[in-house]
Amino acid sequence: MEMETVGRARKLDIQELEEIRNDAYKNARVYKEKTKAFHDKMITRKQFSIGQKVLLYDSTLKIFAVEIQSEETRKCFKVNGQQLKPFYENFQMHTIEEIVLEELKI
């Protein structure tokens, strides 16, 4: 084999691999953008007003910072807004009627 021919073929193979790699990067970027858009669309935005009571779950993440004030200590602190839920003071639970089923005798 001639060295020149082999060298050209090798350069073409390397260029083809580079194109494949670039296409893979583009496809991965498009996939990540679509996944992020879907994820962001599913996040519910919560609206809280000043003075409203909320329930706070144990929060370690500080993604969507919201400043709240403790009713007992009057201290202000920032928490993850996704961990807050509205607190309903006058929420009444409904009584559930219990029905006892008898076994079928065959």
State the pTM of this model. Answer: 0.42
Q: Which pLDDT belongs to residue 34?
A: 96
For tokens 């084999």, the residue is 1
End-to-end CA distance of the chain: 89
Q: What is the pLDDT of residues 14-67, one digit of tens each?
A: 999 999 999 999 999 999 999 999 988 887 777 777 777 776 766 555 555 677
Q: Which pLDDT belongs to residue 53?
A: 75
Structure tokens at 63: 């993604």
Q: What is the mean pLDDT of residues 71-76?
A: 81
Most distant pair of Cα atoms in the chain: their distance = 92
